[in-house]
Amino acid sequence: MTDIEKTLTIAAPVKKVWAALADPQAIRAWMGDDSTVEVDLKVGGRYRLFGGDTTGAFTEVAPFHTLEYTWCQGEWPADWPDSVVRWELAAAGSATRVRLTHRAFPNKQERDSHDEGWDIYWLGPMKEWLESND
């Protein structure tokens, strides 16, 4: 099964993009006031997003460069393995080049659903917030 790979450039500095991915207050700002956003930003630390429907643990934390974590949807059966999300950030002048990879899906249906979901529920709103809040 193929991975999801998305690359985009966001007109915001790397530190601000990093915050939108890793800081609970910034995540709430672009995602909506969801009081269940929890982030323990360290390898082995856990997170909860989207009302607690998405959970996982951080596997790599390299500030302003790389963030990787496991990803599990609350409705997934217990015997499905977690998938893995990886963010890679690089400065592109005053902007940031973002590469998202999401791999190890339990099935094609989940892969296809997440492919569209990343654009609608994450990348679009995050990019819009970052570029409109200088």
For position 101, which CATH number holds?
Answer: 3.30.530.20
State which residues form the domain around 22: 4-132
8 φ, ψ (degrees, to nearest 5): -150, 160
Grade residue 35 by pLDDT with cuts at 50, 70 and 90: low
Full-model pTM:
0.94
Q: Please write the tens of the pLDDT for every residue from 2-33.
A: 899 999 999 999 999 999 999 999 999 998 86
d(CA 116, CA 109) in angstroms, rounded, equals 11
Hey, what are 20's tokens?
């939108």
Q: What pLDDT is stored for residue 32 in this prediction? A: 82
Is 44 a residue whose pLDDT tops 90? yes
Q: Please write the tens of the pLDDT for every residue from 80-133.
A: 999 999 999 999 999 999 999 999 999 999 999 999 999 999 999 999 999 997
Q: What pLDDT is stored for residue 97 in this prediction? A: 98
- Element housing 123 (H / E): none
Is 51 a residue whose pLDDT tops 90? no
Q: How many CB atoms lie within 10 A of CB 24?
A: 20
Domain tally, the chain? 1
